[in-house]
Structure 1
């Protein structure tokens, strides 16, 4: 598969000439009584999000955003299509289930096979009546060292849907934990490791785990760049360089995971462009060259999405 399913239709991977943000949110609602601010409302924030993406397209050539809001997270494919058209940046939408505290009632006691069929239906036929087809399965989640029973079912369902449809899977490994258990579960269903990205690994200060994931063939997502309240970017750079020095540059994905309106540039946050404005210049200053940056920010995410080999992209 050398084309992508975007919210505005099929797109050839070869047409993506600029960088890709591998894990973001453009429309999301994870608000609850303990946290009312975890939302990106299309009605309230779409203009600011569109302006940010358009600016990044002009300044840095941003070409694609992989949008990881899935079922039960406030997903809004029509809003994604509007943002994509208005910003000029392609967007890939997702399907799947987040980690257990955010599972919608439909997960309940539903079997993994029934859940897989729900995902396959969306992937083949579009989300609801929108006609918009997801281009990735994600961010499918777990928390802790081992997935819970409902998380195990939703992860197995994701893997079965991925095998059936040819899409890749991006995970939510809560605070970076449990990635090895996620990968084992997904690959046991028959999904090749190179079709999996293990999320939030920049929040896990464990270079041995990162090397093990990468050596298996999975992608290692350093996708919360700029979220200094969780981890400093200096620590992220240290972990990134350890992975690069171990020979795994071709397994790295980078992004900022903007997941609440307070992170938006217009609201005083670091914004979607923090990767380009701050983190990558620091990496360059430490010796990373332009080809390596292109690998991590364009070729790797395209290979992840399409299942392509190094020779193909």
Structure 2
């Protein structure tokens, strides 16, 4: 497969969006519609019963904090519903980027079991389209896209593995993600179970020819290993602190210390932030911390620890936009995100 230049417009579920129009923060890893109940967790669901609550939360965050974009990483085998995403985006006024690819092996659908990495990559390319026009709008009757809706993914993810090293099946799906990313210009966001296996994921993806700056390694705030965070960032990948507020896994205090260590090591341009709302109990309507926990709780603590507003904007807007557009720090990517170019980036 031939490398394509990354499309500079974001592909959202309601149409192409120039990055320069994204003036508010971005949630880099969320779920608005999903169903993981077949894995045995009946609470890991966000469906039609919760749609009004999800929409209401996003609309309120747009009004209060200027929330501009959500990167929705529900992919194949996770109960993806892009028609629901399009409705949520239109009704909340918050743009949504949809994902594709395969989660970790426990949730692989049958299609992932028998095909080669190249065959799986071809399936992703057909779903994404490789025209590079940034279009992602739902277009009735056009076919193609995700489930024949005409909606095109704007990111590959969350492409997963479930341990310190990917299983044979996960090697194939992650390799497929890298090959499809090369062919279409999209970036890859991963699921690293409990933060483990990030270096192995990055090694596999880059071995397939994907530049590290087009990779975000997920759930690193669940891993108590600043050395791994520095290793990933030094290699050029994004380090996702994307389970903010999930105190039952790890305290936000520990997350904050790990993030500050990464910033102090000089890697502010490689961190992404989000909450990974992945069950209805996390919604504020159900008594949870909700999508806004990042803005209402974690960022104030980060400011109190010394982060200035430029750093906050970098973490919550410019970094995710650079990741999504495949920017390597060149003038086009940086100016599109509303910041000067940074020639020292890889």
TM-score range, shorter chain: over 0.9
Residue 14 of structure 2 corresponds to 8
Do 2:39 and 2:106's aligned partners in 1 also have CA atoms closer than 8 Å?
no
Residue 23 of structure 2 corresponds to 17
> What's the secondary structure of 1:225's corresponding residue?
coil
Residue 252 of structure 2 corresponds to 233
Structure 1 unaligned spans of 5+: none
Residue 36 of structure 1 corresponds to 42
Residue 50 of structure 2 corresponds to 45
Structure 2 unaligned spans of 5+: 1-6, 130-143, 338-346
> What's the secondary structure of 2:148's corresponding residue?
coil
Residue 133 of structure 2 corresponds to none
Of 156, 172, 176, 1:157 maps to: 176
CA deviations over 1:81-102 (Å, ceiling 9, x no partner): 0000000000000000000000
Tell me how large the CA RMSD over aligned residues is. Answer: 0.8
1:73 aligns with 2:73: no
> What's the secondary structure of 2:179's corresponding residue?
helix
- TM (norm. structure 1) is 0.98
Q: Cα distance, 1:33 vs. partner?
A: 6.7
Partner Cα separation in structure 1 for residue 40 and residue 125 of structure 2: 34
Q: Cα distance, 1:32 vs. partner?
A: 3.1
Of 290, 297, 301, 2:316 maps to: 297
1:82 aligns with 2:101: no
CA deviations over 1:218-250 (Å, ceiling 9, x no partner): 000000000000000000000000000000000
Q: Cα distance, 1:108 vs. partner?
A: 1.0
Partner Cα separation in structure 2 for residue 14 and residue 200 of structure 1: 28
Q: Cα distance, 1:275 vs. partner?
A: 0.1
Q: Aligned residue pairs: how many?
A: 312
> What's the secondary structure of 2:87's corresponding residue?
helix
Partner Cα separation in structure 1 for residue 120 and residue 9 of structure 2: 26
Residue 185 of structure 1 corresponds to 204
Residue 203 of structure 1 corresponds to 222
Q: Cα distance, 1:181 vs. partner?
A: 0.2
Do 2:39 and 2:107's aligned partners in 1 also have CA atoms closer than 8 Å?
no
Alignment of 1:85-164 (within 5 A): 85-124=90-129, 125-164=144-183
CA deviations over 1:187-237 (Å, ceiling 9, x no partner): 001100000000000000000000000000000000000000000000000
Partner Cα separation in structure 2 for residue 176 and residue 151 of structure 1: 16
Q: Cα distance, 1:128 vs. partner?
A: 2.0
Partner Cα separation in structure 2 for residue 288 and residue 163 of structure 1: 35
